[in-house]
Amino acid sequence: MAHLIQAALLLLAFALPAAAQQQPDAFDAALPGLVGNFNQQAEAVERLGALGDPRAVPVLRALSDGRLLKRPDGSGVVPPGEAAPPGAEAVRVNNRVRVALRGALGRLQLVSPEPGERLAAAEAVFRSRDAANAPLLEAALAREAVPRIRAQMELSLAASRLVATDEDAKRAAVSALGATASTDARALLLEARAANPGLSGAIDAAVAAIDRRLSLRRAAETLFQGLSLGSVLLLAALGLAVTFGVMGVINMAHGEMVMIGAYTAVLVQEALRNVPALLPWSLPLSVPAAFAVAALVGALIERGLIRHLYGRPLETLLMTFGVGMILQQAVRTLFGAQNREVISPAWMQGTLTLPGGVAVTQNRLWIIVFGVAVLLAVLAAIRLTRFGLEMRAVVQNRRIAATMGIRTGRVDALTFAFGSGVAGMAGVALSQIDNVSPNLGTGYIIDSFMVVVFGGVGSLAGTLVGAMALGVVNKVLEPWAGAVLAKVAVLVALMLFIQRRPRGLFALRGRAADA
């Protein structure tokens, strides 16, 4: 308390003439106190802290580090950065001074030119809960322009006022804290409840408000994670939906197409390592490359192997499983079994904070966008191109389509290539969130099938809805059951769902759709 009065008096003493005189006087006047006895030092330190003059920072830091030198004649300190005169000794401090130094430095950081330091200082002040900090915060707020730092300062101000004596100030502080979504504020309020029984009603309301906002934020984050998982499932399943839907072919090598796409991204990255100008673009460039490579492999498989088993889905399933195995082993032999890394470009790294404090990682956000983009591209290809028209005709009635002159063999090959290409693009996206190894595909094959079967074979809308629904449900269950059990529960629920609706959510009607 005494210090507060002293500081206030000093401020007054020096602030009044400060209008006509400049701050440096107060600063210079406080400096000599640093070479006095420990009490004087502490006072001087506090004074310097209260001034809010950024020049005090290096001095106080030096003092805290034990680097501050006093002149041999004891008249004052050597400003840091100045050459040390011979005979200069380091200024010693005791614990009381240290405590004062911490406080002073903290307060000074509130007005530091570095925004990062200001924010950190505001957060530190928030945690220290000293009513004495209120005026400092007010002063800092007056100068603060960055909204995020202002928000933190206002929060810290409210926290400081909460421990003041003025009832009205406290009430104001409670409602200010209640308007946030901060867990720190919540803890503070709960602490203050015991000491302020008169305010318990207001505090409870404030805590409830914070809880509401927190649960909304959690829900939003869960939703985001669910959409993110859903977009991953969507990407993985989309190619399969096309081949399964159009050709009735169960392609157990689908996972390997994804894997091939991921390895294409690795190769593109390696190739561009020597072309620094293009390196940041390696990921976007990998997308068409992966499409092409996977589509080529798919076309070869279809023309060489699958078309001989037309109309025999079980045999196709087994055969493509074998093909997948061969592809996996081939990649393992060529590239080795260890994980490969595909580096994210800078614009995909980091975390965004949406309004409301919801944290979303950038790479997953981009994957959601990418997933939707790919879906739209596939839709466009199916609805707007000649190829898509022929594909739809073959899905609905293969024999009639053939009699109309559509070369169903060619459509099959192109469809399979197309589906494989989409899987390849999915692999590029997955390389960002998963390890790239030869058995990357095996982790996604069953999920892809479940998405397609759940959503309805032959329906892209079904694939979208199915993927998103499965992703969200999985993430909603996770906090309760843990990741593994959540997955198991989803699988079991899917199996039960299929009993009820064997054709999936959006079933294609008509006799031709029977696989």
- Please report, as ranges, the residues that interact with another protein according to CB under 8 A: 250, 252, 305, 308-309, 313-319, 321-326, 328-330, 332-333, 442, 446, 449-450, 453, 482, 484-485, 487-488, 491-492, 494-496, 498-500, 502, 515
Other CB atoms within 10 Å distance of the CB of residue 68: 24
Q: How far is the CB of 397 from another protein (least distance, A)?
A: 17
**Residue 320 or 363: which CB sits closer to another protein?**
320
Place of tokens 């088993």: 309
Distance CA 148, CA 143 (A): 14
Count of residues making up the chain: 515
SS3 78: strand
- Nearest distance from C-beta of residue 446 to another protein, angstroms: 5
Which of 283, 331 has the CB closer to another protein? Answer: 331
CA distances from 36 to 30, 123, 211 (A): 11, 32, 51
Nearer to another protein, 352 or 483 (CB): 483
> Contact at 8 Å (CB) between 162 and 188?
yes
Distance in angstroms (rounded) separating the CA atoms of residues 170 and 201: 13
Least distance in angstroms from the C-beta of 504 to another protein: 10
Q: Give whichever of 269 and 320 is closer to another protein, judged by the CB atom.
A: 320
Nearer to another protein, 360 or 453 (CB): 453
The neighbour count for residue 21, using CB atoms within 10 Å, is 11
* Residue 495 beta carbon to another protein: minimum distance, rounded to whole angstroms: 6
**Judged by CB, which is closer to another protein: 38, or 310?**
310
Residue partners of 389: CB distance under 8 A and separation at least 6: none
CB closer to another protein out of 157 and 250: 250
Of the pair 320, 432, the CB lying nearest another protein is at 320
Q: Shortest approach of another protein to residue 319 CB, angstroms? A: 4
CB of 323 to another protein, least distance (A): 6
What's the min distance (Å) between Cβ of 68 and another protein?
Answer: 55
- The end-to-end CA distance of the chain, in Å, is 84
In the complex, minimum distance from the CB of residue 487 to another protein, in angstroms, rounded to a whole number? 6
For helices 95-109 and 38-51, angle between their N-to-C axes, nearest 10 degrees: 10
Nearer to another protein, 12 or 485 (CB): 485
Which class for 150: exposed (0-12), middle (13-18), buried (19 or more C-beta within 10 A)? middle
> Least distance (Å) from another protein to the CB of residue 451?
11
Asked if 45 contacts 100 with a C-beta cutoff of 8 angstroms, the reply is: yes
Q: Give, in order, the Cα–Cα distances in Å from 360 to each of 63, 81, 87, 228, 352.
A: 42, 44, 57, 10, 5
| Residue at token pair 């984050």 | 221
Measured from the CB atom, the residue of 33 and 438 that comes closer to another protein is 438
Give the CA dihedral 50, 55, 58, 60, nearest 10 degrees. Answer: -30
Q: Which of 260, 251, 398, 227 is nearest to 331 (CA)?
A: 260
| Min dist. Cβ of residue 314 to another protein (A) | 5
459 neighbors 506 (Cβ within 8 angstroms): yes
Question: Shortest CA distance to 316 belongs to which of 495, 168, 81, 515?
Answer: 515
